[in-house]
Structure 1
Amino acid sequence: MTSTLSTDTEVVAAPLVKKPARKRGGPKGKTPGDWAILLVAILLGLLIAVPFFMILLNSFKSPADYNANGPLSLPTGLDFGGLTNFWERVNFPEKLWNSFFISSVVAVAAVLISMLNAFALGIGRVRGRTWIVVLILLANMLPQEVLLYPLYFMFKSVGLYDNQWAVIIIFVVIQSAFGTYLLASVYGTFPKEILEAASIDGASRWRILWRVVFPISRGTLSVLLIFFFIWTWNEFLIPLTFLVSNATQTVPVSIAVLQGDRLMDVTTTSASALLGLLPTLIFFLIFQRTLTRGITAGAVK
């Protein structure tokens, strides 16, 4: 009897050991669907990288090497003739400064105007807010081809044709239209308690904008600044139309100058594309962390 009780007591006191749950989808928990998505993403990345790889290959080839071996072969030797030719033919430092000046002024001015417009529409709650936002958005939805003739006639009459400020004014209006539409929806959901507390403390609307709204929305504004700079840098049609003289042209326009009707130097064109791509790539790498923080800022409360 004693032995039976002791045995039962030991059985009851023994801890229950659970088997570890088996993970699904392999050792790292990835399902076949995750691997398929990863494979598709890798293939898309490779397809996107192919043109850049070809530009890099052909930028350092001589014309004889390109004609003999084609565009997909590795260069037999490093030849900087295409880079030097493009640098000297179009005066690349001048075109680089023109693009940087136009893109910088447009990005800063468009972000500033977008913030002021969005503050009035999203927080000020003016009458007819929805219709005003739709009207502003139309400036960004119209094709650039439709705007060319009226803008040409207008800037020709005021003496701004073949002037960089004409391009700056056009892109400030276009980019700020998109920025106003985006920021107005963001500022429309701004916490009213913060604004009411600042107003009770005696802050004016101007002070609320710069001391309350601007610091909180700095991440979104930095994302807009980066995008406006890159978008303006890559614009081609309007700068080609309004910047006729060689001294006012931008980098994309100078690349198009190299292409003739019946003859095109592929190695020089590839070198020009490489030089035109590097500034935006460097700009993106410098502000990559700022861009990531700005995009993910709205996801964290």
Structure 2
Amino acid sequence: MTVLSAPARQDRTEGAEPLRPVKRRRPARWVVLAVLLVLVLLVVAPMLVVAINAVKTPADYASNGPLSIPERLSFQGIADFWERVDFTRKLLNSFVTSLAVAVLAVLLSVLNAYALGIGRVKGRIWFLVFFLVANVLPQEVLAYPLYYLSKDLHLYDSLTSIVIIFTVIQSAFGTYLLSSVYAEFPTELLDAAAVDGAGKWRTLWRVVVPVSRPTLAVLFTFFFIWTWNEFFLPLIFLVSNENQTVPVALGVLQGDRLMDATTTSASALVGILPAMLFFLIFQRTLTRGITAGAIK
């Protein structure tokens, strides 16, 4: 057995790495986590109650109340609501209009912002002021003129009118946002494209759009969700049952017909699920798009 002398033990002790202090969680962190957990529960709890009541029978709801666990799962309320409002048709209407508006609004925003942010057209500031004012106008102000205009153009009670209206409304926000982004666009890339002989149109689609793709993906996602959730203008312009979207169908059904609590919960659950699924699918796209501008 080898016994180290005092100098040897001292040298080995000096050569060893110092012990790192163990980090202790401060009480403030636990308080923050507890507050965040409470906030999450406050957000999730109403949706959880709706989901629980949607799979109950009316007798179970009447006897045990809205906060009880269902005795057995029953999807009859969802089936009754689906058949009553022809929900497949309403889903298709909402999906078509939201997708068309998202694509057209992003395209129009890119063209406008390219002219204002990079092209530096004359009167750029006044155009931006116009788009800013258009963003803050309430939809109630637009209802009457758009109603009579759609009547004159024979577009009333058609999905085309909704697509045109919300394409213009959403592109006003997209133009204002993208103009500030394109105003700071790297001039080196534009100069390199010009040296290579690329015109303005080719520069837009081969240089500007690929670089700003994360921002465009965020705009597309927001435009889709915003259009899906619109209620006021579609309620005015879509009066036929076959042309109604999901929010309008839910509002009209709950307004003029009597439904039991389970069917009402089923309608709320089925109405909100598509938008939630779309958001969850594109959540990573949103995260990449929002953080892309913070990383050089």
Q: Same fold (TM over 0.5)?
A: yes
Unaligned runs of 5+ in 1: 1-6
63, 77, 100: which one aligns with 2:95: 100
Residues 1:9 and 1:60: Cα distance change in structure 2 (over 3 Å): closer
2:106 is aligned to: 111
Q: Deviations over 1:205-238 (max 9, x none)?
A: 0011000011111111011111110111011111
Which of 217, 228, 232 is matched with 1:222 structurally? 217
Taking the TM superposition and a 5 Å limit, the aligned residue runs for 1:119-130 are 119-130=114-125
Q: Determine the C-alpha separation between the residues in 1 that align with 2:35 and 2:227.
A: 31
Q: Deviations over 1:44-83 (max 9, x none)?
A: 1111101110110111112222122211111122222211
How far apart are the structure 1 equivalents of 2:273 and 2:11? 73
Q: What is the aligned partner in structure 2 of residue 15 from structure 1?
A: 14
What does residue 79 of structure 1 align with? 74
One-letter amino acid of the counterpart of residue 19, structure 2: P
Which string of whole-angstrom CA distances, capped at 9 and with x for unpartnered residues, describes residues 174-225 of structure 1?
1111111111111111111110111122110001100001111111101111
Q: CA deviation at 1:109?
A: 0.3
Which residue does the alignment assign to 1:152? 147
Aligned residues with identical type, % of pairs = 59
Equivalences for 1:202-281 in 2 at 5 Å?
202-260=197-255, 263-281=258-276
Measured after TM superposition, the shift of residue 268 of structure 1 is: 1.1
Question: 1:177 aligns to what?
Answer: 172
SS of 1:15's equivalent? helix
Please state if 1:199 is matched with 2:199. no
Q: Distance in 1 between matches of 2:45 and 2:8?
A: 73
Relative to the length of structure 1, the TM-score reads: 0.90
How many positions carry a matched residue from both structures?
A: 291
| Aligned partners of 1:94 and 1:247 also within 8 Å | yes
Compute the displacement of 1:171 (Å). 0.7
Structure 2 Cα separation of the partners of residues 13 and 107 of structure 1: 68
Select the residue among 25, 28, 33 that pairs with 1:33: 28
Secondary structure of 2:254 counterpart: coil
Mean alpha-carbon deviation: is it higher for 106-115 or for 136-145?
136-145
1:282 aligns with 2:277: yes
Distance 2:131 2:105 in 1: 13
Once the two structures are superposed, residues 79-98 of structure 1 have per-residue CA deviations (whole angstroms, 9 ceiling, x without a partner) of 22211111111111110100
Residues 60 and 82 of structure 1 are in contact (CA less than 8 Å); yes or no, is this contact kept in structure 2? yes
3-state secondary structure, aligned to 2:154: coil
* Cα contact 1:96–1:251 (8 A) shared by 2: yes
Using the alignment, how far apart are the partners of 1:10 and 1:259 within structure 2? 83
